[in-house]
Amino acid sequence: MQTNCIKNLLDLKDVFIKNVKNLKDKIEIYVELPHHEQICPYCGAITSKVHDYYTQTIKDIPIYFKPTNLIYHKRRYECKNCEKKFFENNSIISKYQRRTTRLTGFAINELRNLVSQADVARKTNISPSVISKMLPYLAVTNSSLPRVLCIDEFKGNTGHYKYQVALINGETHEVVDILECRQKHSLCEYFKNFSQEQLDNVKYFVTDLWETYKDIAFTYFRKAKIIADHFHFARYACNTVNDIRISVQKNLPKNQRKYFKHSRKLLLSRQCNLTDEQKDELSYILINYSEDLRIAYREKELLLDIIHSNDDFETKSKSFSDWVKRNLESPVIQLQECAKTYQHWYTEIKNSLEVPYSNGATEGFNNKIKVLKRVSFGMRSFKNFKARILLLNR
């Protein structure tokens, strides 16, 4: 009765539990299989003659946070027909393994959390090097490409490169794949592995304003609309405001700088998100310091209004054209530059006003990666890094 309880608790079917030792630093569970007739793997004859026993230590899922081993008393049978010896069939462990399948599953589950591999090794009682060797096998990626493909780089600092590339499904926000480097040749190397049919499945390709990605889209995704990510292109207008703010601040006498110190947050936030008090402070800054700053701020707000407006596409598109036209002739040089960039990406930005897709999903993804890098004190192996990211996001 008691052994049955333990068997149920441990979920070990078809085995006899001979003994359980609760030692100071580990738990040992002594197991044995029932004596059965066996089919000889060499000649197919049936035998039940035991030749000898062999004791195997198998790591299992920790119990009450203690490393736990199954001490398996393994029978070796002898075939009466061909006289060859062989070990009994068992459901506990596959050949050449030193841990149970469920311990491997437990470790994989632990690797889904934002913890270091060393932590997982400690918790599972599997050595860090074994965990490291397991990881590349877990980096399984989808062989198909999604309808909405978002491409974005992030600073992973792993392998040989500073920046890695994340491919994300723009509709489900699932990570499609992680690429080691953002250079054109390596992106081509990657995408050429897909069939034309798979490439044509991509109907929207969401990217920041980076020429290489646009080239890749033109080469491989001929059926896709290229969408400029609005978070990225809006940043140009925000940076314009910030650049002017910095130059204004630099030219202020020291005693006036302190009144200007909240200006960054006030100028870069959306006006509708400010409190009344902050709005007053902002007006003071806009009225008193620089005409360029005032103009740049107004244009930034107008651009964001267009992006976030609920108007129909035609109206938004017209407002955007007007914005670019107006700012190409702006008295503020930095705004002219911004408008020129937008003119260069005119089609892609307009496309973005028509659909709800953006690289916004990669924001949360980037935060997770930062934490993963911090808890792991950096990740040197790209393959392992990739496996961890894929496990985290699925």
Contacts with Zn ion, residue ranges (CB under 5 A): 40, 42-43, 45, 79, 81-82
Reduced DSSP (H G I as helix, E B as strand, rest coil) percent helix, strand, coil of the chain, to 5: 50, 20, 30
For the bound state, the minimum distance from the C-beta of residue 46 to Zn ion, rounded and expressed in Å, comes to 9
Minimum CB distance to Zn ion, residue 89 (Å): 14
Question: What is the nearest approach in angstroms of Zn ion to the Cβ of residue 51?
Answer: 12
Length of the chain: 394
What is the distance between the alpha carbons of residues 208 and 342, in angstroms, rounded to a whole number?
12
Nearer to Zn ion among residue 86 and residue 154 (C-beta): 86
**Closer to Zn ion at the Cβ: 42 or 218?**
42
CB of 38 to Zn ion, least distance (A): 10
Cα radius of gyration (the chain): 31
* Positive or negative: CA dihedral 99, 105, 106, 111: positive
Q: For residues 81 and 256, which CB has a smaller minimum distance to Zn ion in the complex?
A: 81
Per residue in 201-224, is it b (16+ CB within 10 Å) or e — as a string? Answer: bbebbbbbbeebbbebbeebbeeb
Nearest approach in angstroms of CB 50 to Zn ion is: 15
- C-alpha 256/C-alpha 285 separation (Å) is 12
Q: Which is nearer to Zn ion, 81 or 347 (CB)?
A: 81
CA-based nearest residue to 56, from 40, 78, 32, 72:
72
Please state the closest distance from residue 362 (CB atom) to Zn ion, in A.
60
Phi, psi of 59 (to 5 degrees): -75, 140
> What is the nearest approach in angstroms of Zn ion to the Cβ of residue 104?
32
**Parallel, antiparallel or unpaired: strands 27-32 and 16-22:** antiparallel
List the structure tokens of 250: 């630099």
Are 65 and 107 in contact, with CB atoms under 8 Å apart? no
The Cα 171–Cα 310 span in angstroms is 20
Residue number with CB closer to Zn ion (5 or 82): 82
Q: Which is nearer to Zn ion, 23 or 46 (CB)?
A: 46
The residue (of 77 and 323) whose beta carbon lies closer to Zn ion is: 77
